[in-house]
Amino acid sequence: MPLSEYRQLPWPAAASPDGPARLRHLVTGALRTGRPLALWRAPDAALPQLLVARSLEATYTGLPPALDDRAPAGFAFFPFRDSDHNPALFLPADVRYDLARPEAVAVAPAARELVPNLTAWLALPTPAELAWHYGTQPVPHTASEAEYTDLVRRGVAAIEAREVVKVVSSRAMRRPLPPGFDPLAAFAELSAKYPRAFVSLVSVPGVGTWLGASPEVLAEVTADGQFHTMALAGTQPLVPGSRPQEAIWRQKEIEEQALVARYIVSCFKQLRLREYHETGPRTVAAGQLLHLRTDFEVDLHNVPNAASLGTDMLRLLHPTSAVGGMPKTAALAFLQRHEGYDRAYYSGFLGPVNVEAPGLASLFVNLRCLQLRATEAILYAGTGLTIDSDPAREWQETQMKMQTVGAVLGQ
Ligand SMILES: C=C(O[C@H]1C=CC=C(C(=O)O)[C@@H]1O)C(=O)O
């Protein structure tokens, strides 16, 4: 919905002094009134944006979001696997606050009834305590090194037995929160540390609070009418002092990434799309890690099914072979049987749809993320397995990936 249809509530002059203080004030208000919220900082953007949904009920959705300019505006927050425990959510863009326009809060027509209380709230001082929403699901099983390496061995055996070509195993890890841990400060720290990542903080009653810095675009429709997705896979540490372009990749990683690229091409084929532009694979840095990445662009001005292409691709892509495996159904069945924990929103996807302008969408894979509980964080990471995977190395790789978001835990 264009911003012109929103009601602009000017910030009272005497209240919170600057954009970040106002952001904190709005987040506090959303948490106190039990409303879902999403805060994100797009890659390469200077400032974050906040969206608050009018109610939890308004966020439940069935299908993945439609990526077209007539679809509702909001923030998608989808689990790896849709279930009653981890519902697929789409937070309608009812209340918006963009730090690039810090002087006013925008309220959508659908949330008009919030205006009186919100106006009163803007004039109040900010309470010190933020009551973040916590998930109601139990803490997931966290695999020991022995358990994880065993899972990797089983994955390799499934590849050898030709049940799957590739599978991406993953695990969770618990870490205590440092004293005085402040998720908003952690969000700002991740934004500063990873300028090229999609940094997000999502908090939903009953579902929980998730913080992350994702390097992976799942599906994007840009202002100049391009559809963009990427095949991101293969991991090695960035050696301090060296340049990403100098990295040398083993056959294992080259094949692992090529499978993801091939999967994307097969999705285009299913949609009978031949006009796409492919760049790469090239080496890209994501925090302290390097990955191989191929970018795919489709000029939506030049394809017959432009209006539905983004929506159709999103439905085919999730979960991609960078987080599930190949063939998709067999890889997901392997994970269901052997992984031994609930990924919840890790390796799902998230991001704004039609928020900045109708027709603009940026959905990212929810990687390099953690779930916040009252006293601890649960970190998540996975590794793409191929026939050449070494269990000890794959464990190491999950450790490295967890350090991306784990950096804010100060350990
Ligand atoms: C599954 C994750 O990363 C994916 C994205 C890039 C590289 C990957 C890899 O090398 O295995 C994974 O496919 C994760 O970060 O948890």
Using left for φ > 0, alpha for ψ between -120 and 50, and beta otherwise, residue 56 falls in alpha
Question: Going by DSSP bridges, is the β-strand pair 376-385/289-299 parallel, antiparallel, or unpaired?
Answer: unpaired
Residue pair 340/298 in contact by the 8 Å Cβ criterion: no
Residue pair 18/102 in contact by the 8 Å Cβ criterion: yes
Cα–ligand 1 centroid distance for 233 (angstroms): 6
Over its length of 411 residues, how does the chain's per-residue pLDDT go in tens digits?
A: 677 789 999 998 777 778 899 999 999 999 999 999 999 999 999 999 999 999 999 999 988 999 999 999 999 999 999 888 899 999 999 999 999 999 999 999 999 999 999 999 999 999 888 899 999 999 999 999 999 999 999 999 999 999 999 999 999 999 999 999 999 999 999 999 999 999 999 999 999 999 999 999 999 999 999 999 999 999 999 998 899 999 999 999 999 999 999 999 999 999 999 999 999 999 999 999 999 999 999 999 988 888 899 999 999 999 998 999 999 999 999 999 999 999 999 999 999 999 999 999 999 999 999 999 999 999 999 999 989 999 999 999 999 999 999 999 986
Of 116, 115, 119, 117, nearest to 107 by C-alpha is: 115
Cα–ligand 1 centroid distance for 270 (angstroms): 25
Cα–ligand 1 centroid distance for 98 (angstroms): 31
Measure the CA–CA gap between 189 and 205, rounded to whole angstroms. Answer: 24
The atom number, within ligand 1, closest to the CA of 384 reads: 11
Three-point CA angle 320, 325, 329, nearest 5°: 90
Cβ < 6 Å from ligand 1: which residues? 168, 170, 216, 232-235, 291, 322-323, 367-368, 381-384, 401
Cα–ligand 1 centroid distance for 325 (angstroms): 11
Measure the CA–CA gap between 377 and 174, rounded to whole angstroms. Answer: 6
For a mutational test of ligand 1's pocket, the pick from 171, 216, 232, 250, i.e. the residue with the most ligand atoms closer than 8 A to its C-beta, is 232
Cα–ligand 1 centroid distance for 342 (angstroms): 17
